[in-house]
Structure 1
Amino acid sequence: MTVKYLICGAGPTGLGAANRLMELGENSFLVLEREAYAGGLSASFTDANGFTWDVGGHVLFSHYPYFDALLADLLGDDVLTHQRVSRVRIAGGWVPYPFQNNIRHLPPEERWECVRELLPGRRPEITPANFREWFEVVFGKGIARLFMAPYNFKVWATPPELMDFRWIGERVSVVGLEQVLKNIILARDDVAWGPNNTFHFPLHGGTGEIFRRLAARLGDRVRYGDGLARLDAEKRRATTQSGEVIEYETLLSTMPLDLMVTDVLSEAPNAVREAAKSLAHNSVHVCGVGVAGLRPDPTCWMYFPEADCPFYRVTNFHNYSPNNVARPGEQMGFMAEVSSSPHKPVDKAAVMKHTVQGLVNTTLMRPGEAEKAVTAWQMDVEHGYPVPTLGRDAALAVIQPWLASHAVFSRGRFGGWKYEVGNMDHSVMQGVEWAERMLLGKPETTYGA
């Protein structure tokens, strides 16, 4: 088989690319997907007890008119709009998100610690060399100790001193002493920060419904259960898991970049292979727990920096759509996320047990509810987040030019390995912009290649 464009992966980036090729009149393409479903890390699943779960806490917000129009076309009226209500569990209570903007809700000693370490002369006056130094310079050691350090280790499963900080952009609210004091004195909550303050969610089927509908438009140009197994980039020849050989002119890969170089490419220079081995990622264990009964709580999601629970985030998934539970209006669905890595090992077999106990410890579940849970669903995701380590950019500067010189373009959350452009809208647009680069010669502005 021969195609002009071969796309590996039917997640947001691969489907975005394929859809844009088709919109521009190019039909010589094929999408290979190793799983039996579309969506990648944005897929959704319905468990045996009728609860729907995402692969982690996804919400729909956008930086792009194209993405907005695509969602509107795909979902029509089958979408809900929410104002974000988010909280941080700390010191036995709840602080509105972002934590650093709302420390007035802390107990007096912790509140004073945060303010004291923001005072002139208290914050380190250095140029930060890593993520840990950055949040101590910006927020002071009080906010760093209480929230930034423990929470970020829980999320990334990587010591923050091994991470860069230049990926942050709009993902972290930067707050100064004046604003902190003003919020405390005026007893004002500062909760509107961030691009996801208003977000959308499908009425039925979870986030994965978006990509099921998008994949359906492509028909038999998406092949499931037959991913890329081997790639001869010199000859532009791909071998699928089923053994079929496909010749192509240009390849878009959305599979994890480390696996592409070390496991799939038939040959690559040692420098490229070593660079790929230096890329770091965490794993994420998603635990969905369904509970009978419904309590009034408008919270969308919550963050957990402390050690009384294994998860870093819990989503009230029943608040995203009532159809995410088997009996709308009568049940709750808590979706918890736990990270792991060599720096933070986790016993997969015990994650659910520890998660349920953590839900009780943090008051999300009442004593006795654990024994009456109506469903428990777990998914272990090997590649959870691409970690922006100190050496990441140098590694990408070796890998990506070599791939591009062989007509292989690696994009998406793990194909591009840039967390800062790894939101759902970013990922779709990486595929769209790649297609426009191929057919129209336009630059890729999101990935920056």
Structure 2
Amino acid sequence: MHVKFLIIGAGPTGLGAAWRLAGHGENDFLVLERHAHVGGLAASFTDRAGFTWDVGGHVVFSHYGLFDRLLDELLGEAVLRHQRESWIRVAGTFVPYPFQNNIRRLPPELAWECVEGLLAAGRDAAAGVHPDAPAHFRAWIDRVFGPGIARLFMVPYNFKVWAHPAEAMSHRWIGERVSVVDAGRVIKNIIFGADDVAWGPNNTFSFPLRGGTGEIFRRLAARFADRIRLGAAVVSIDPAAKTVCTASGETITYGRLLSTGPLDRLVADQLVGAPPALIEAAGRLKHNGAFIHGLGFDGAPPDSRCWMYFPESDCPFYRVTNFHNYSPFNTPDPDGMRPRLRALMTETSFSGYKPEDPATLLDRTVAGLAATTLTAPDDAGRLVSTWEMAVDYAYPIPCLERDAALGLIQPALEAMGIFSRGRFGGWKYEVGNMDHSLMQGVEWADRMVAGSRETVYTL
């Protein structure tokens, strides 16, 4: 079999590329997906009790008009709009997100520790104490926020979410991902007793009425379902022969190839004749994994919060989402005829730096919900559903070696006619949101058809 355009992976990037090719009138394409479903990390699943779960705490917001218009086409009126309400659990209380803007909620001695550190950081910056760029993410945290915010939130939370030490990470991915605040703004919030919660591009977000986030990509894939092959894992890519072999033994020749799977696996496991230098560079890329748990409770009290962050050690998870608040159809009782159902979705990272025992994690997760006051001590008896998924590739780590590795790997692949894009295909967390990922596929298709320049994924 031969196709003009071959796409590996039916996640947001691969489906975005296929959709754009079809829009250009280029219908000679095929999408290979190793799983039995589309959506990648943006897929959704319904458990045996009727609860719907995402693969982590996704919300839909966008930096791109084209993405917004596509979402409107796909969902129409079957979408809900939300104002973000997110919190951080610290020192026995909840602080509104972003933490550094809202330390007034802390006990006075801890609030002062944070302010004192911010003031010192500001004095150091004004005096030019640190003329050189920070050597790593931890140094950036200390310089920007001072020791108080670093100790209470930034250092422990970032280890829980990335499962890598901040000293092993670059600070260059920050951009809009972390709110940088000055001491004057913090002090003003304390004096006026004001919460400062509007920061960030996801301050408002959308969510599908039915089917979870995965509904977006099921509907998109339905437009060209005849050109998507599920359960078709790729085992080898021969760039010289321009052939791809699947686990079933099929060989497909192609004109142009887009790979959206993990870049390290592409180079080390799939690429025929990969040069040793590329394999070595791919080995320098780092990632974490995550365990996702969906816990359905019967008769829980109302809770208006969207999601919450947990930097402390009294629970294994780093984030919990009140998934029932995103859509009533995420529970098996959308009309509310039963006592209120609550769908709590937790995320726990793991890596070689931070191993987790899956055999005990569910029990520790349930205990952690009670320890952090998200559930009452007797709520364990009201647990009516559990769902879990282990995700080997959750976040691409912006490690210190990343940019040099990508600078070697990506041009070499493109010289072979292979383009690697997406959350893990591009390995750039800062452009790894759902909208970024889909737009990477769109811009690749535009480049292939019209020679346009890519702007979302750049080196």
1:218 has 2:224 as partner: yes
Partner of 2:258: 252
1:80 maps to a residue whose letter is L
SS of residue matched to 1:248: strand
Alignment of 1:227-266 (within 5 A): 227-266=233-272
1:422 maps to a residue whose letter is G
Partner of 1:135: 141
Partner of 2:329: 323
Q: Report the TM-score, using the length of structure 2 for normalisation.
A: 0.97
Match of 1:166 among 140, 165, 172: 172
Partner of 2:372: 362
Shift of 1:392: 0.1
Match of 2:320 among 314, 321, 325: 314
Q: Distance in 1 between matches of 2:227 and 2:398?
A: 34
> Does the 8 A contact of 2:299 with 2:382 survive in 1?
no
Q: Unaligned stretches of 5+ in structure 2?
A: none
Shift of 1:123: 5.4
1:272 has 2:282 as partner: no
Partner of 1:151: 157
Partner of 1:417: 427
1:119 has 2:119 as partner: yes
Greater alpha carbon shift after TM alignment, 319-328 vs 309-318? 319-328
Greater alpha carbon shift after TM alignment, 294-303 vs 357-366? 294-303
Alignment of 1:42-121 (within 5 A): 42-120=42-120
Q: Distance in 1 between matches of 2:426 and 2:333?
A: 40
SS of residue matched to 2:255: strand
> Does the 8 A contact of 1:123 with 1:136 survive in 2?
no
Shift of 1:294: 3.9
Shift of 1:77: 0.4
Match of 1:405 among 415, 435, 438: 415
Encode CA deviations 1:218-244: one digit per residue, 9 max, x unaligned. Answer: 121000001211111111110011110
1:447 has 2:450 as partner: no
Kindly report the root-mean-square deviation, in angstroms, between the aligned alpha carbons of the 2 structures: 1.0
> Does the 8 A contact of 1:280 with 1:387 survive in 2?
yes
Encode CA deviations 1:305-334: one digit per residue, 9 max, x unaligned. Answer: 000000000000000001101123320000
Shift of 1:371: 2.6
1:388 has 2:394 as partner: no
Greater alpha carbon shift after TM alignment, 289-298 vs 110-119? 289-298
Partner of 1:344: 354
Q: Distance in 1 between matches of 2:120 and 2:105?
A: 23
1:35 has 2:35 as partner: yes
> Does the 8 A contact of 1:287 with 1:378 survive in 2?
yes
Shift of 1:128: 1.2
Q: Report the TM-score, using the length of structure 1 for normalisation.
A: 0.99
Match of 2:447 among 414, 422, 437: 437
Q: Distance in 1 between matches of 2:108 and 2:348?
A: 30
Shift of 1:370: 1.0
Identity %: 62
> Does the 8 A contact of 2:120 with 2:146 survive in 1?
no
Q: Unaligned stretches of 5+ in structure 1?
A: none
> Does the 8 A contact of 1:74 with 1:210 survive in 2?
yes
> Does the 8 A contact of 1:123 with 1:141 survive in 2?
no
Q: Distance in 1 between matches of 2:240 and 2:169?
A: 34
Q: Distance in 1 between matches of 2:119 and 2:383?
A: 47
1:298 has 2:308 as partner: no
SS of residue matched to 1:26: coil
Shift of 1:297: 1.6
Partner of 2:386: 376
Partner of 1:289: 295
